[in-house]
Chains A and B, each alone.
With several copies, the nearest count.
Chain A
Amino acid sequence: MSEIHTIDEQMLVAFYRNLYFARRFEETLADMFRRGEIDGWLHSGIGQELVGVILGVTLQAHDYIVPYHRSKATFLARGVPPRALIAEILGRQSGICGGVGGEAHAADVSHGIFGSTGVIGAALPLALGAAFVQLYRHTDGIAVCGFGDGATTQGSFHESMNLAALWNLPIVFICENNLYSEMTPLSKEMKETRIAKKAEAYGMPGIAVDGYDLDATYTVLQEAIARARENQGPSLIEVKTYRWHGHYEGDPEEYRDKNEVEAWRARDPLPLLRARVHDQGILDSQQLLDLEKNFEDLLSEAVAFAKASPYPTPENLLSNVYATNTSA
């Protein structure tokens, strides 16, 4: 990383808006889950929103994101309507995937988001395809692929890093290292825990960054994105971050120390960013409160919309297996 890139006022506000909203979105979902309003599971991204926000805000419309599996922040910051995202998580017809994919398999190709999967590690090969399409079409678009530390021990990580470097694909791999893979700590996933360093095996730059430091993360991401965009090749970014909630909502979290959680929570980038926006005089207290109030309304409306939406019909559920009208 060279010197820190400056974030202009407009972007700072965009980051704040999106970070605030992503946090409230996550909190709202967690509450809903606790109240039994969500079928299946919920994997909270709370505490890890910053990277997704930066990506969502800074990437160009023709870039593709294969999102990190907790990153609802990416979806929102890219402009996916909150109501359609909640509806998807609730399995409703009005969801971005018609309510069939749900939390783990949500995609919105019209917003350049694709490749989400319930299979850890499987996103990376898919992301190669997105990068290859950019190359093939001679666009200046890129692909970004997010995943966790746990995914780096999958064979697919290795094959994908190798192929991306070999073919000089316009892609940025972003590993959100939150120190755990479900209940397993990093030290039981790998002996070499410096994930960024693994990039060397592929002849690719690898950079680690504190994911709670907005400026550092912004800088590292912008440089990697620029590299990819200018056809200088892929990068691996290891973002050191932390999830505040359990692996899934309801996780008893016996495997980690409350103090560890508290230490990360104490570094929460959200109030820091709010203070910065305020102290730099970009938005005053009232403007901040108005903005936050607006988001609460937006959220309530989105939840109400989603809850009122019907579930997929049998006809919906039998569609889209094939593009042609094939029946078995």
Chain B
Amino acid sequence: MSQLSYRRALTQAIDEEMARDAGVFLIGEDVADSGGAFGLTRGLLAKYGEMRVRDTPISEEAIVGLGIGAAALGLRPIVEIMFMDFIFLAMDQIANHAAKMRYMYGGQVHIPLVVRTLSGGGFRAGMHHSQSLESVFGHIPGLKVVMPSDAYEAKGLLKSSIRDPDPVIFMEQKSLLGAKVEVPDNDYLIPLGVAKVRRTGSDVTIVAIGIMVSHTLQAAEELAQEGIEAEVVDARTAMPIDSDTILNSVKKTNRLVVAHEAPAPFGFGAEIAALAAEKALYYLDAPVIRVTSKFTPIPVGRSEDYILPGKKDIVEAVHRAIKGG
């Protein structure tokens, strides 16, 4: 057990899985020689060689397609898309092929593909380097979507994603790269589709995902000082959704706030609010509140701070939820 950054936890997860399974390989732009645009894959080329760690041209569609084909035929590819915003270039391969291939071939193949990609704000690099697109992928049957909220989660979830038989969109939270927590040096897995109660509380449930989990935990501390005890659920995966854990918490606290970095319409919060309205309506004592980015593209520079949600927004949302609307 040692303090490890999110960045290094990711490297460690890939490293361990590559050591464990000779079918795991990694391709992407600048992942090999230079160890990744953000150093996430440093050292892997030297350790595993050119067949298993490969730089690619800028051809998002082809490299994801290659990954799908290789996955269908028995390997375990990890394809890096440098920024999630560029994943749209591979959208047909992901949404029409990775997601549907197992189904359309009647179960003849698995697609144990991981598409790793940096998502969210934090680099202040604007609309083409900052998006969080979990709900776009969560809507497509056949895909799983993972958003680790700290280094511990990152390692355990990435290892599970690599071993998973289904295609996983793995969203690495840009603004967490440097953040450290205790991370076991050994092998451990965190199952996909199981949310985690990060803090118990009785007054309100806050379901958060990705980077919003840390903001939420901080908000919860602040709220506790006012005497409001929030239960914080880290959803971990946007698909599958662990509705049991979420609904049980809502049934206990009778209030629900959902926090994510993507914009509200058709977002993760919509789905969670809908779940509650469908399956826990009679338990809700107050309107469900969504804490999200504003419904705009993400501007460059410090302007992003205004558009993206933060601790303050969560605190305010809880106040509204407690007041009842």
B108 contacts A133, C-beta separation under 8 Å = no
CB < 8 Å: which of B67, B89, B106, B164 contacts A320? B106
Interface centre among B29, B71, B241 (most CB of A within 10 A): B29
- The reply to whether A321 and B141 form a contact with Cβ atoms under 8 Å apart is yes
Q: What number of A-B contacts does a CB cutoff of 8 Å give?
A: 268
| A114 interface neighbour in B58, B72, B89, B128, Cβ under 8 Å | B72
Complex contacts, A103 vs chain B, CB 8 Å:
300
Q: Is the CB of A109 within 8 A of B70?
A: no
Give Cα A318–Cα B102 distance, bound, in whole angstroms: 12
B309: interface (CB < 8 Å): no
User: Provided the pairs A129-B65, A328-B265 are in contact, do residues A183 and B70 lie with their beta carbons within 8 angstroms?
Assistant: no
Asked if A189 and B58 sit within 8 Å, CB to CB, the answer is yes
In this complex, the member of B57, B63, B299 whose beta carbon has the largest number of chain A beta carbons within 10 angstroms is B57
Q: How many residues in A have their beta carbons less than 8 Å from beta carbons of B?
A: 76
CB proximity to B under 8 Å, residues A184-232: 184, 188-190
B300 and A105 contact, CB distance less than 8 A:
yes
Residues of A within 8 A of B68 (CB): 125-126, 129
26 contacts between A and B (CB under 8 A): A41-B125, A91-B302, A100-B104, A101-B106, A101-B300, A107-B104, A114-B105, A115-B72, A120-B58, A126-B65, A128-B66, A129-B65, A129-B73, A136-B75, A153-B58, A156-B62, A181-B29, A181-B57, A188-B55, A311-B303, A318-B294, A321-B296, A323-B110, A328-B240, A328-B263, A328-B265
- Once the chains are docked, how many angstroms separate the CA of A64 from the CA of B75? 15
**Which residues of the partner chain A approach B69 to less than 8 Å between Cβ atoms?**
66, 114-115, 125-130, 132-133
Verify if A287 is at the interface (C-beta below 8 Å from B).
Answer: no
Counting contact residues on chain B (CB < 8 A from A), the size range is: 35 or more
A103 CA / B240 CA spacing, docked (Å): 31
Chain B positions near chain A (C-beta within 8 angstroms): 25, 29-30, 33-34, 37, 51, 54-75, 77, 85-86, 89, 92-93, 96-97, 102-110, 123-129, 141-142, 144, 164-166, 193, 239-241, 263-265, 294-297, 299-303, 306-307
Say yes or no for A314: interface residue by CB 8 A criterion. Answer: yes
Interface check A52, CB cutoff 8 A:
no
Complex Cα distance, B57 from A166, in Å, reads 9
| B-chain residues with CB within 8 Å of residue A40 when the two chains form the complex | 123-126, 300-301
- Choice from A105, A126, A136, A324 contacting B164 with Cβ under 8 Å: A324
Q: Is A32 an interface residue (CB 8 A)?
A: no
Query: 10 other contacts beyond A102-B299, A184-B30, with CB at 8 A cut-off?
Result: A97-B104, A103-B300, A105-B105, A125-B65, A125-B66, A129-B69, A133-B69, A182-B29, A255-B33, A319-B107
Q: Which residues of A have CB within 8 Å of B126?
A: 40, 101-102, 104-105, 118
Q: How far is the CA of A103 from the CA of B123 in the complex (A)?
A: 14
Q: What is the bound-complex CA distance between A40 and B92, given in angstroms?
A: 22
List residues 57-109 of chain A with CB under 8 A from any CB of chain B: 64, 66, 90-91, 95-105, 107-109
Give B102 Cβ to nearest chain A Cβ, in Å: 5
- Report which of B72, B85, B103 forms a contact with A321, defined as CB distance below 8 A: B103
Q: B296 near A317 (CB under 8 angstroms)?
A: yes
Do A163 and B107 touch (CB < 8 A)? no
The answer to whether A119 has its CB under 8 Å from any CB of chain B is: yes
Q: What is the distance, in angstroms, from A280's C-beta to the closest C-beta of chain B?
A: 40
A188 to B56, CA, bound (A): 7
In the bound complex, residues from chain B placing their C-beta under 8 Å from that of A317 are 294, 296, 299, 303, 306-307
Question: Across the interface, which residues of A come within 8 angstroms of B74, CB to CB?
Answer: 133
Question: Is A151 at the interface (CB under 8 A from chain B)?
Answer: yes
**Which chain B residue lies CB-closest to A114?**
B72
User: Residue among A91, A125, A155, A156 with the most chain B CB within 10 A?
Assistant: A125
CB distance from B43 to the nearest CB of A (A): 13
Docked pose: A208 CA to B164 CA in angstroms: 43
B62 to A160, Cβ gap below 8 A?
A: yes
A188 to B85, CA, bound (A): 23
In order of increasing CB-CB distance, the 10 nearest A-B pairs are A129-B69, A125-B65, A118-B128, A91-B301, A102-B300, A98-B106, A159-B62, A323-B165, A97-B106, A153-B57
* Chain B residues, Cβ within 8 Å of A155: 59, 61-62, 89
Chain B residues closer than 8 Å to A95, beta-carbon distance: 106
Residue A154 at the chain B interface, CB threshold 8 Å: yes
In the complex, how many angstroms separate the beta carbon of B138 from the nearest chain A beta carbon? Answer: 9
Complex Cα spacing A108 to B125, Å: 19
